[in-house]
Structure 1
Amino acid sequence: MADSQTSLVQLQSLLAIAPEAPDSDHTNEAIQQWLEQLSATSLSALFDSQPNQWRNQWHQTLACSLFVRSQLLQPEQDSPTLLSILPNLNTQWAITDYQQSLQQHLAPLLDDKSVDSGLRQWRNLMMVRCIWRDLNRLAPTLDITKELTLMADVAVNFALNYHYNAMVKSKGTPVNAQGQAQPMLVIGMGKLGAYELNLSSDIDLIFAYPESGQTTPSPTNGNVISNQEFFTQLGQKLIKTLDAQTADGFVFRVDMRLRPYGQSGALVSNFDALENYYLTQGRDWERYAMVKARVMACSAGDAQNSVPLAAATNELLTLLRNFTYRKYVDFSAIEALRDLKTRIRQEVKRRRLKGNVKLGEGGIREVEFIVQALQLIRGGRDSQLQTPSLVNALNALVTLEAIPADVARALLNSYLFLRNAEHAIQAWQDKQTQDLPQSSNSQWALAQAMGAKDWPEFELQLSQHMHFVSEQFGEVIADKDNNKNTQAGQQWRSIWNETQAPFITELLEQLDFDCADDGAQTLLALHQAPQVLATDKTGADRLNRFVPLLLQKLSSRAGAGQTLQRLQPFIIAIARRSAYLLLLIENPAALEQLVILSEASPWIPERLAEYPALLDELLSPTNLYQIPNKEELSAELTQTILRIPEDDLEQQMEALRYFRHAHGLKVAACEVTGKLPLMKVSDYLTELAEVVLSYALDLAWQDMCRKHGLPGDHEGGNQPNFVVIGYGKLGGIELGHGSDLDLVFIHNANAQKETQASEGQRALDNHTFYTRMGQKLILLLDTKMPSGTLYEVDMRLRPSGNSGMLVSTLSAFSKYQSDAAWTWEHQALVRTRVVAGNAQLAQEFAAVRKTTLCSERDLAKLKKDVTEMRQKMRSQLGSKTKEEQAGQFHIKQDAGGIVDIEFIVQYLVLAHAHNNPTLVEWSDNIRILEAIGQSDLLSETQITTLIEAYKALRSETHKLALQQRGNKIDGAGFEGLRGDVQGVWRELLE
């Protein structure tokens, strides 16, 4: 007895609350009463090892939580229950730990009353554990919120399946028309969906099931009911078990107001009803809520005869994701978010929420709004933002440069501080409140929980965090433009509203609008365009806001009317896709770039009219003019495709097309603004094609292997024994805007060997395997999709042309080149190289190419073949006599043009490579010309002439392409250059 009394005194000393706590006397008296009810020896082991640590944790927990006191400091509290959680407080629990804990706690329960009581007692015990860990910082904040969420997941799943199984016994199993048992899926919303529950959170739920139908006959009375009725009753039972307040408390407060039609809607909906609602009735604020949606519970049912839960879950999440995110940068969400932002601020003022760490100005909700708003706007395009987690989304926004890294860090710090404050407020009495406390006791406890020395220090810290959040919240969605309220804005609106061309011209001239007549005709044509006339009210309103802004932006620039003409097809193209109009309205910088680039090149607005999604690239001028290298291009494409499911080939193809078009726009923007020289433009466009080809080849390879297994004798690891040969501009690293790809496919496998794979759908001989892979690659490249084609592919340069096999073996290619190829085919081989595929086979192809090109030739025959082919091309493709007489010059095909230079280069390589192998090391004309000069086959003056002429003429073709003009130009100014090229031609080939 003496030992027991000694232990009691020691424990009382360890657990005593510090005297400075406002209610320390009352608390210490409760501790004394509690200790007298317990066996001192049963608790002593908990404190013997680290008494100071336990004293500090007890002090912090009991001082800062009346709820924990009520649970632990009661005479009737069962000490074995307390002992079950105390030794595990430093351990992070997984969902299996919570499941095991609940199973042990509820093992003997058999009826609804016992389940309800047991769940509540277990919940209170788990809350003690989480509050203890939180107040003593035994785990990071987000680990605590995750554990609270896992606790909710376990409780909801248990209650759902308990009632489901009981109802199946009394009412039969709900099935679809095929007799498959139907599960009920529970969608967790808000913090529950994001694994971010707080200490006294309610849970927002939506109930759904896959298909309508009815139950099987009831085992008790043979009756049947509809699936809708069955799941409605199930939902009601689940809510009652979780939400009803009893003597033991509650499990979780349940909020069902986020379901379709809110409180007036059906409690449960099948998937078709959900899809129809979100397609026809869904509101923008519901998209905001759906950002955090997660299927967190489902009734298991009969595993042998039920709808597969994984498939049902994926179907439901896909349905919700399609509603939530648009497949483009979604500025249509801005208007709704702006209204929501306004309502949030108005609510703060109306309800006087200044002292609320969640709803007040600068509170938790505003941090969430900042992140979720950007998720809604950009999540359709950047799928890494499609996450319910605030932290994951914030990190993705930094990666995407949508938020500066320092701002994101500060936001996260403020968010965690506010969440800790929220937890401390709720830990006090387990009440769902975020209001700052008013009593001295609770204020002291909150400051103590937050590590502040006193209440004023805590208030200062809180004020700093909330002020920063409020500033960021105010900036995330800018207020509506006020242009229409300015005098200038009203003038431009009146011009757009005018429908008579002479009056429009007069008004434009009064405002010094350059090329006013062109501008007037364009505005009139826009008014009369069928697409504009067919716009709905929203589209018309946005167009009426956009055009005056555009006119004002154009008004200060030369050639404004001509630029507006160039933009006319683009405006018509997006008139009924008004989200793009809104993008430009909301982003003055993007509108500025659109005007600059359209002024410089009609090619750019035409591309934007064809692929409006490319407007996304104008949002960041810095990024628009920043050109990545090949490695960065490849990494970006890989990262983009990794976000897409492996089996979704269509989405992968769309992503490839957007990637190619977006980077093509970038390089065009850099070229027309003088930020990138000609050679760099061609290099970049060629590298872009190589990256896309490599990825498309890998897609084709993986698809073939999934269907047919590996080809026979395959030793290439993850690479096919296959290469893509680039000819022409691709081979010569000279791609331009809109260039097609001249390709040849080669494999190096035994053509007759059967595939050894048994898991494929059927075995194929190697030749058939690689032929189909080549066909698949072409399909990936030139299939017309909503986002266009990747590249147009030309395969006519393969052995025997269109009549030849699509894919050749290397040996067959080599034999053809040595025995059957025409001289022009050897000329074409000069500008070839491997652009994708197996590295070893690439080396072997290079050896075949070198051998072929270095073969000694009859110079007289070679000269005759080259000149005859050149004359044939010139007569078919060059300027006609009348055009030449009029001073026209076909920059590629006429005498002294680009093709003359190319033929000179090819002739010299074929004529002299047998003595000068260095001539075949390169496939681009500039470096071949440099090698020719080093071999003394032409004079230094001739080499300089050809190189400068080639660069100048190619630069002109790029300008012509961006100005959407053909290759025939006024020859004035090119006479000297052409004469120099023709001089070299005559010396060599005449």
Structure 2
Amino acid sequence: MTVSPFLAREVAKRAYLAEALIESQWPDPDPTREGLAEKLAMRLAAADGYEAALGAARRWASEESFSVSAQLLVELATPAGAAARFTLIAETALGALLDLARRETEARFGAINGTLAVVGLGRLGARTMTAASDVDLMVVYDAPDDARSTGAASLDAVTYFGRFVRRYISAVTIPTEEGALYEVDLQLRPSGSKGPPAVSLSAFRKYYEGEAWTWEIMALTKARVIAGDPSLGGRIAAEIDSILARPRAPAKIAADVEEMRERLRAAKPAISPWDLKNAVGGFVEIDFTVQYLLLTHPLPSGAAPSRDMAMMINAFQQSGAIEAREAEILIAAHKAFEALQQMSRAATGGVFAPGAAGDALRRMAASLFDADTIEEAEKTLTAMQADVRGVYEAVVRVKAASAAAEGR
């Protein structure tokens, strides 16, 4: 625990985490969604009632995530492996609580002729969750216009699925003795906080056909169905792929991307180069460069957006959208930044701060950049960020400047 004050605090709050760690198998074999779901289902089956089930789900997720964090910090799990594991844990828990919320909703209002699916965005959609990630969600349903629930208090589809989703989000976020499962952000749904908690498939389609801002379409590059009805999920995935594949004017998209980048830089300035989320040349430039390419350059035949950053960058390099050196810079930086982000979140729960870190954590951070000291690592980090910013400017900013000169 000397490497991770964050994990030490978690054990102080939840002593059972240490017990679970002792009983776990190390190195833990790579799990499957099915295997994790079976383990969680056993916990939920033993719970006495809805509230107890919510607590059981939180305890299970805490134990699983704690084990992944510990294995990451003693190098029994790779950063990429940890990201995949954290994501699987979230998908499993979110899927199980969706089933719980459905049963509770049906018990009160009856069933309805309709289906629902949950879309993960951000780190959940990209399969890059960390020990401290929240979840970005969008919930989509499909039902006939005249559908009504079968309960005594019969509800139309809009009201029914709205209440279903509110119960679901409450199941995920409400504090119990074990705390919340995840913080949930629904701001990326159509119309954001002004829109309903659940959006119909037809409204989803209409919104992205003519009302969505460029940044909202950019967010769909990390969107992925993670729970709910498989058939509806397939239709949503097809809609997302269709939205991303529409022809667009590169100069206008570049100008929109650059405007968004400047707004973020003004609103959330980085506290140091180690603040990878906000630093110039950090995650934002990598994401925005790739998202710009996804919205303006068709991928090779059969290479639909995979949500895997390296695969997408390689596909764009092979298609000639970016140079080989640019692809190399983006892939290397993204890998290093993700490794640091995983380590930092597992060790501290936040941004890595060299001045506040112990010697073991500083050595670990330096090793991610093949450096002997943290000072050398910071030089390498800032050089990588400068290279990433250079790629962003060459790929996106030049187009944005052209659009500005032409008056868009």
Taking structure 2 as the reference length, what is the TM-score of the superposition? Answer: 0.87
Map Cα deviations across residues 867-891 of structure 1 (whole Å, 9 max, x no partner).
Answer: 11011111221237xx6xxxx5532
- Secondary structure at the aligned position of 1:614 is classed as helix
Quick one: which of 924, 927, 939 aligns to 2:323?
Answer: 939
- 2:311 maps to what in 1? 927
Question: 1:921 Cα deviation (Å)?
Answer: 3.0
- Secondary structure at the aligned position of 1:734 is classed as coil
- 1:144 maps to what in 2? none
Question: 1:960 Cα deviation (Å)?
Answer: 2.0
- 2:131 maps to what in 1? 737
Quick one: which of 66, 70, 76 aligns to 1:675?
Answer: 76
Change (3 A) 1:857 1:791: same
1:908 corresponds to which letter in structure 2?
L
The CA distance in 2 between the partners of 1:889 and 1:622, in whole Å, is: 33
2:329 corresponds to which letter in structure 1?
T
- Which segment drifts farther, 629-638 or 788-797? 629-638
Retained in 1: the 8 A contact 2:130–2:346? no
The CA distance in 1 between the partners of 2:24 and 2:187, in whole Å, is: 40
- Secondary structure at the aligned position of 1:814 is classed as helix
- Secondary structure at the aligned position of 2:83 is classed as helix
Retained in 1: the 8 A contact 2:274–2:351? no
Quick one: which of 827, 830, 835 aligns to 2:218?
Answer: 827
1:949 corresponds to which letter in structure 2?
A
- 1:852 maps to what in 2? 243
Map Cα deviations across residues 692-720 of structure 1 (whole Å, 9 max, x no partner).
Answer: 11111111111111222211x34xxxxxx
1:898 corresponds to which letter in structure 2?
F
- 1:977 maps to what in 2? 384
Question: 1:627 Cα deviation (Å)?
Answer: 4.9
Retained in 1: the 8 A contact 2:322–2:395? no
1:677 corresponds to which letter in structure 2?
T
Map Cα deviations across residues 562-595 of structure 1 (whole Å, 9 max, x no partner).
Answer: xxxxxxxxxxxxxxxxxxxxxxxxxxxxxxxxxx
Q: How does 1:346-357 map to 2 (within 5 A)?
A: none
Question: Which structure 1 segments of 5+ residues have no match?
Answer: 1-597, 715-720
1:896 corresponds to which letter in structure 2?
G
Retained in 1: the 8 A contact 2:68–2:82? yes
Quick one: which of 692, 705, 714 aligns to 2:93?
Answer: 692
The CA distance in 1 between the partners of 2:301 and 2:246, in whole Å, is: 10
Higher relative contact order (CA 8 A, sep 6+): 2
Retained in 2: the 8 A contact 1:933–1:940? yes
Question: 1:954 Cα deviation (Å)?
Answer: 1.4
The CA distance in 2 between the partners of 1:873 and 1:906, in whole Å, is: 16
- 1:906 maps to what in 2? 291
- Secondary structure at the aligned position of 1:746 is classed as strand
Retained in 2: the 8 A contact 1:909–1:920? no
Q: How does 1:334-413 map to 2 (within 5 A)?
A: none
The CA distance in 2 between the partners of 1:920 and 1:908, in whole Å, is: 13
Retained in 1: the 8 A contact 2:277–2:283? yes
**Larger gyration radius, structure 1 or structure 2:** 1
The CA distance in 1 between the partners of 2:77 and 2:176, in whole Å, is: 30
- 1:644 maps to what in 2? 47
Retained in 2: the 8 A contact 1:782–1:793? yes
Question: 1:649 Cα deviation (Å)?
Answer: 0.3
Retained in 1: the 8 A contact 2:313–2:331? yes
- Secondary structure at the aligned position of 2:130 is classed as coil
1:634 corresponds to which letter in structure 2?
A
Q: CA RMSD in A?
A: 1.9
Question: 1:637 Cα deviation (Å)?
Answer: 0.8
The CA distance in 2 between the partners of 1:859 and 1:805, in whole Å, is: 32
Retained in 1: the 8 A contact 2:98–2:168? yes
- 1:891 maps to what in 2? 276
1:604 corresponds to which letter in structure 2?
L
The CA distance in 2 between the partners of 1:701 and 1:751, in whole Å, is: 20
Change (3 A) 1:747 1:629: same
Map Cα deviations across residues 427-481 of structure 1 (whole Å, 9 max, x no partner).
Answer: xxxxxxxxxxxxxxxxxxxxxxxxxxxxxxxxxxxxxxxxxxxxxxxxxxxxxxx
Question: 1:968 Cα deviation (Å)?
Answer: 6.2
Question: Which structure 2 segments of 5+ residues have no match?
Answer: 355-374, 399-408
Retained in 2: the 8 A contact 1:724–1:834? yes
Tell whether 2:154 aligns with 1:763: yes
The CA distance in 2 between the partners of 1:697 and 1:634, in whole Å, is: 13
Give identity over the alignment, percent.
28
Question: 1:632 Cα deviation (Å)?
Answer: 1.3
Quick one: which of 257, 261, 276 aligns to 1:866?
Answer: 257
The CA distance in 1 between the partners of 2:6 and 2:293, in whole Å, is: 37
Change (3 A) 1:799 1:621: closer
Retained in 2: the 8 A contact 1:658–1:787? yes
The CA distance in 2 between the partners of 1:889 and 1:599, in whole Å, is: 21
Q: How does 1:710-725 map to 2 (within 5 A)?
A: 710-711=111-112, 713-714=113-114, 721-725=115-119
Retained in 1: the 8 A contact 2:132–2:346? no
Map Cα deviations across residues 963-990 of structure 1 (whole Å, 9 max, x no partner).
Answer: 3252566743323212221221121122
- 1:666 maps to what in 2? 67
The CA distance in 2 between the partners of 1:768 and 1:643, in whole Å, is: 32
Question: 1:930 Cα deviation (Å)?
Answer: 2.7
The CA distance in 2 between the partners of 1:918 and 1:979, in whole Å, is: 33
Question: 1:816 Cα deviation (Å)?
Answer: 0.5
Question: 1:639 Cα deviation (Å)?
Answer: 1.6
Tell whether 2:166 aligns with 1:775: yes
2:383 corresponds to which letter in structure 1?
G
Tell whether 2:280 aligns with 1:877: no
The CA distance in 1 between the partners of 2:183 and 2:382, in whole Å, is: 34
Question: 1:651 Cα deviation (Å)?
Answer: 0.8
Retained in 2: the 8 A contact 1:946–1:981? yes
Retained in 1: the 8 A contact 2:82–2:342? no
The CA distance in 2 between the partners of 1:693 and 1:857, in whole Å, is: 35
- Secondary structure at the aligned position of 2:133 is classed as coil
- Which segment drifts farther, 772-781 or 622-631? 622-631
The CA distance in 1 between the partners of 2:393 and 2:153, in whole Å, is: 60
2:306 corresponds to which letter in structure 1?
W
- 1:750 maps to what in 2? 144
Equivalenced residues, count: 374
1:934 corresponds to which letter in structure 2?
Q
1:861 corresponds to which letter in structure 2?
K
Question: 1:679 Cα deviation (Å)?
Answer: 0.9
The CA distance in 1 between the partners of 2:206 and 2:134, in whole Å, is: 28
Retained in 2: the 8 A contact 1:602–1:962? no
Taking structure 1 as the reference length, what is the TM-score of the superposition? Answer: 0.37
The CA distance in 1 between the partners of 2:286 and 2:302, in whole Å, is: 19
- Secondary structure at the aligned position of 2:25 is classed as helix
- Secondary structure at the aligned position of 2:380 is classed as coil
Retained in 2: the 8 A contact 1:830–1:920? no
